[in-house]
Homo-oligomer: A and B are copies of this chain.
Amino acid sequence: MDNTDTPVTVIGLGLMGRALAGAFLKAGHPTTVWNRTSSKADPLVADGARLASSVGDALKTGGLTIICVTDYEAVRELLGASDAGLDGATLINLTSGSSGQARETARWAERRGARYLDGAVMAIPSAIGTDEAVILHSGAQADFEAHRPTLDALGTVTYLGADHGLASLYDVAGLAMMWSVLNAWLQGTALLRTAGVDAATYATFARQMAAGVADWLPGYAEQIDKGAFPAEVSAMETDARAMAHLIEESEAVGVNAELPKLIKSMADRSIAAGHGKEQYPVLIEEFSKPGNDH
C-alpha cells in the first residue's frame, strides 16, 4: 500500500487536532474526523475529510487513530464509551498529560485490545506539517515504525523508547529548557535595559551564550552518568561567589532577583551538603529530590 493510501482518523478537533487532520489531508491520506461539536469539522470536510457519526464509527475506519483532546480523562471517557471498538485499533494519544497518565492509559487501552503509542507535540498548531514541528512518541517501537511513514506527514517525528511515559517526560523537560532560556534572557534584558541597552542588542549576546552552554551538556552529562564531578572547569564554591554578584547587581539596579536567588539557593544547598569543591553537574543531587518548597 502506498503511504498516502493509509486511512487515518483524528479524534478531537481543537486547534491542534484540526492542524493534524489538515496535514494528513494535505498528504493525501483518507482522513476521518470526529469532534464532540461536529461543526468544528466543517472546514476539514470541505477539504475532503469524512465526518464520523460517533467515536465508534471513527475507530472502525481501521488504519491509525490519533486522539488529541483536553486531557486524559476525556480520552478514557470518549474511547471507553459503550462499544467504541478499541480491539484491533492502533491509537496514538497526543493529548497533554503526565507520564503516569500515559502509562495507565497504555495499559487501559492494551487491555481493550488496542495498540497504543503516547505522544507529545512540541509545536504550535500552525507549524504542524513542517519540519519544525517535533512530535515525540513512546511505546512499542514496532508500532511506531509501522506508522512512521504516515506520521511523517505531521513533522519531525521521533521515537523515544518503549516506556509510554517518555513522551510526556521529554515534553515537560523540553519546556523547562524553553522557559529557562527565555527567563534568563529576560533577566539579562532587564539588567541591560537599566543601562540603556535595547533588547535586540542584548539578544545577540544571549543567543550566543545559550548556544555555547548548550554545547557543554553532553560533556557534563558524562559526569552525571559516572557519578563523579571533578572541578575540571570550576568549583561550586567559586560559582556561588559569582551568583552572589548576580543577585547584588540585580538588586542594585532594581530588577527582579528571584531567579538569581533560586540559582544561588540550590548551589548553596549543594555546598552545604559538602559539594563545594565539585563541579556544577553535582547539583543533579539537589534537582533529584523534592527539596524545599516556597
A residues within 8 Å of B by Cβ? Answer: 96-100, 124, 161, 163, 165-166, 168-170, 172-200, 202-211, 213-215, 217-218, 220-222, 224-225, 233-234, 239, 242-243, 245-246, 248-263, 265-266, 280-281, 283-284, 286-294
The one of B203, B218, B250 in contact with A217, judged by C-beta atoms closer than 8 angstroms, is: B203
Q: Are B183 and A263 in contact (CB-based, < 8 A)?
A: yes
The one of B214, B257, B258, B265 in contact with A206, judged by C-beta atoms closer than 8 angstroms, is: B214
A294-B177 contact, Cβ under 8 Å, with A249-B169, A287-B255: no
A198-B177 contact, Cβ under 8 Å, with A256-B291, A287-B186: no
A176-B261 contact, Cβ under 8 Å, with A213-B182, A280-B182, A288-B255: no
In chain B, what residue has the closest Cβ to A192? B169
Q: Are B252 and A100 in contact (CB-based, < 8 A)?
A: yes
- How many copies of this chain does the complex contain? 2
Q: Are A176 and B260 in contact (CB-based, < 8 A)?
A: yes
Cβ contacts under 8 Å, A163 to chain B: 195-196
The one of B124, B173, B214 in contact with A192, judged by C-beta atoms closer than 8 angstroms, is: B173
Q: Are A203 and B184 in contact (CB-based, < 8 A)?
A: no
Cβ contacts under 8 Å, A233 to chain B: 124
Cβ contacts under 8 Å, A178 to chain B: 209, 213
Shortest C-beta distance, A251 to chain B (Å), equals 7
A173-B199 contact, Cβ under 8 Å, with A252-B98, A262-B262: no
In chain B, what residue has the closest Cβ to A289? B256
CA distance A180 to B214 in the complex (A): 11
Most buried by B among A183, A206, A253: A183
Q: Are B221 and A203 in contact (CB-based, < 8 A)?
A: yes
Cβ contacts under 8 Å, A242 to chain B: 96, 172, 175
